[in-house]
Amino acid sequence: MTDIAQVKQLDSMGVEFCGFIFYPKSPRYVFRFTPAINIKKIKGNINKVGVFVNASLDDILKTVDDCGLYLVQLHGDESPKTCEKISDYISVIKAFRLSHDDNILWKIREYADVADMFLFDTEGAGYGGTGKKFNWDALLGLNINKPFILSGGIQPTDIPALKAFSQQSVAKDLIAVDVNSKFELSKGVKDMDLVSNFVTGLKTI
């Protein structure tokens, strides 16, 4: 998110997590749109998540304090040791970009004890979102044994597919879905009608 007014709307809808990207190469880099103090002033029930890519420990912890973040999402190549250091200070979501032939349990194994949650996204050429789905079937039958977020090209018409996925055994650990580009009017600015309808649909699952 880049628009503080829209964040307040999300909070009023009952949305639980809101992401701010602190990766300078991203077109949604939040400091291009608003200063840290405006993010820190956001109150309510929504959890402010800072998304970082291979940032230094000092930069992450300073941003957490400056912006009043509640969680950190590590979306780069951060090591388990880095995750552990950050998780001593704030809850950590470790993101994994999945390709079709990944051994997912092997990929996440070293992070099981040092991250609080996982996020599964689609492998792409860089670190940003691809706007494409990975094959959710790759998760079927797995025991992630850690709260996880499903991401990657999720769109307004995906409620039936999400409902079907929620019936699978792996979904016992699914706590949220991450949406972004398919709900945008422009980079970082959401179509709030699409978001509202999607949130309503999720509540039927």
CA 122/CA 113 separation, integer angstroms:
23
Dump pLDDT digits (tens) for 165-178: 999 999 999 999 99
Alpha helix (H) residue ranges in the chain: 4-13, 36-40, 57-67, 80-87, 104-108, 159-166, 192-202
Dump pLDDT digits (tens) for 40-67: 999 999 999 999 999 999 999 999 999 9
Q: Which domains does the chain have, with CATH numbers?
A: 4-96+104-202 (3.20.20.70)
Average pLDDT over residues 26-50: 96
CA 92/CA 49 separation, integer angstroms:
9
pLDDT for position 127: 62
Dump pLDDT digits (tens) for 58-117: 999 999 999 999 999 999 999 999 999 999 999 999 999 998 788 999 999 999 999 999
pLDDT for position 126: 60
Element (H, E) at 190: strand 189-190
